[in-house]
Chains A and B, each alone.
Chain A
């Protein structure tokens, strides 16, 4: 099939069958050539596309990973390496001493446990409250349920600092809205501000969680509930025995995001816990000074920087570990909740 039809054959054809046949043969030849070219073209195009894609993926990955790798590299260097112009990525005087110093300066075991307890408390409460509210407005028809949903979305649009600053004053002089005598009690520097706003579904990005879970519950079949009611299960039993188990993929997503966002949050953590040194965030802020023995003058030194970088690695490490084990849940999270399409 690959060889061209012999010219002799062509001439003989021209004589015997006539002009028309030749034209047909020519066309067949041209067609074959064109197919071959387009096949080659397709192959070149395929290679080009994978090449461009590879450059794009590698470039973006480099930009994403670079800051993390730089911190990691710095944390393993001695001060001499920072001054050394020839050292960029690989430390010449490899050391783990920075980790020992930073670990102690941050009082890591204690501040880690405190942060973990706070983060778990917040994410479990948010999970419970947002799911409950989402079930209420997603599965029951009652006057005002659309308004409640709109209010939940509205909480997202307001910059949280605008709420948190007056809120911090209310928590500082907490009178239970007039129930306790003035000046009330201070709830700052305790878990209470976090507990109160998380349990009532107005914590960090809770409007988003309500939105996601409402969509999730709306997508579940109506028969499921009806069958449970017919079998004599009450409304609340149906919720936690039938509907909640069916919503587990959504619940996992809410929990993971709530956990990560609370761990990484800056505004709520610094405003509500301003005077507390034994949480990771505050420990990280104070680590360099403590490692320098309280000498403020050396805060701009290279050594202080190395300690800070080591501290940042220690701060982010638990999340990276969580991500390593749960990455499938994170990556497939939004498909799982089915909020798009």
Chain B
């Protein structure tokens, strides 16, 4: 009896021991700089020979980025809007791609191989160099000329349908984003694909016997079962956008710290961005939890 108890205690200690690396890392290399980020954002940080000193200046940095900084507000609004538009489009595209890649057809493995390539090729440095590069712009121009051609055709077609103009603009805007959306969808497709394959085929067979059409079983079976995965993917897509160099705000934070207005201003930007992300994630999860369906 006594031995058993000590064994249980040993297991308790083992739990903490196994978690110890993260507890240390979280304290020193995450939480400490996290708090520093907030402190820096209320100070002017001056680099001296012995390190750095902080001069408290209240909301000065925040005042500066909102009222004085030439780019921050524009970049901030653009980045947030971009995220709000892109996330649903990425989810829709990757869901569609997963549905297609889940079917049986010749060349499926090749198709999956290509669809997942963006994860390998999305090196930050390459995305950034492409933006700056002249020949890329030249080729991009040629590509745009092709796109504008189809774009005009599409615009005329849509105008004839007498849909509201805002809707048409949204569709045209979405068409422009297609390459960006596709290249940001690699992991999401994998997650959806794994989700689709976890649905037991017997459910579809039963629905078929009951006379449900493919359309009905999509809306009544596939979508509800996939809803928690859609939420997971939405959160993942938001997190993923922090690490691409095409995220102008993140680039601005980095550049401002090292060669711009300094660490204080940079951290004021970062904190603003972080708070906005928390709000967006909160709203997403709150809205999603109303229609997410959990099997149990």
Contact = CB atoms under 8 A, between A and B. Distances in A.
Given A166-B40, A334-B190, A266 B128 contact: yes
Contacts of A199: 21, 25
B193 to A, nearest CB: 7
Contact of A183 (B51, B139, B243, B278): B51
Contacts of A322: 120
Given A136-B15, A265-B243, A308-B133, A64 B22 contact: no
A179 to B, nearest CB: 12
A105 interface: no
A221 B254 CA distance: 46
A256 B40 CA distance: 36
Contacts of B278: 157
B267 interface: yes
Contacts of A204: 243
Interface in B113-134: 113-126, 128-130, 133-134
A57 interface: yes
Contact of A300 (B116, B134, B194): B134
Contacts of A88: 142
B91 to A, nearest CB: 15
B29 A197 contact: yes
A302 B134 contact: yes
A277 B199 CA distance: 50
Nearest to B111: A57
Contact of B105 (A50, A74, A305): A50
A183 B15 contact: no
A284 B125 contact: yes
A265 B128 CA distance: 12
Interface residues of B, number: 97
A260 B274 CA distance: 26
Contact of A155 (B30, B51, B52): B30
Contacts of B130: 67
A35 interface: no
Contacts of B115: 60-61, 64
B25 A201 contact: yes
Given A161-B253, A201-B22, A302-B134, A316 B263 contact: no
B139 A235 contact: no
Contact of A320 (B34, B120, B254): B120
A137 interface: yes
The 9 closest A-B pairs by CB, nearest first: A200-B25, A136-B18, A266-B124, A341-B198, A140-B15, A142-B15, A305-B135, A202-B25, A162-B270
Interface of B: 7, 10-12, 14-19, 21-26, 28-30, 32-34, 36-37, 40, 49-52, 97, 100, 103, 105, 107, 109, 111-126, 128-130, 133-136, 138-139, 142-143, 178-179, 182-183, 187, 190-191, 193-195, 197-199, 225, 229, 232, 239, 242-243, 245, 250, 253-254, 257-258, 263, 266-267, 270-271, 273-274, 277-278, 281
Given A129-B21, A158-B274, A163-B34, 4 more contacts: A61-B111, A163-B30, A205-B243, A315-B125
20 contacts: A60-B182, A64-B114, A64-B118, A74-B135, A136-B18, A141-B15, A142-B16, A155-B30, A158-B274, A162-B253, A162-B267, A170-B36, A200-B26, A201-B22, A229-B7, A235-B11, A305-B134, A327-B116, A334-B191, A340-B232
Interface of A: 50, 53, 56-57, 60-61, 63-68, 70, 74, 82, 88, 129, 132-133, 135-137, 140-142, 145, 148, 151-152, 155-167, 169-170, 173, 177, 182-184, 196-197, 199-202, 204-205, 210, 229, 235-236, 239, 260, 263-267, 270-271, 274, 281, 284-285, 300, 302, 304-306, 308-309, 312, 315-316, 319-320, 322-323, 327, 330-331, 333-335, 339-341
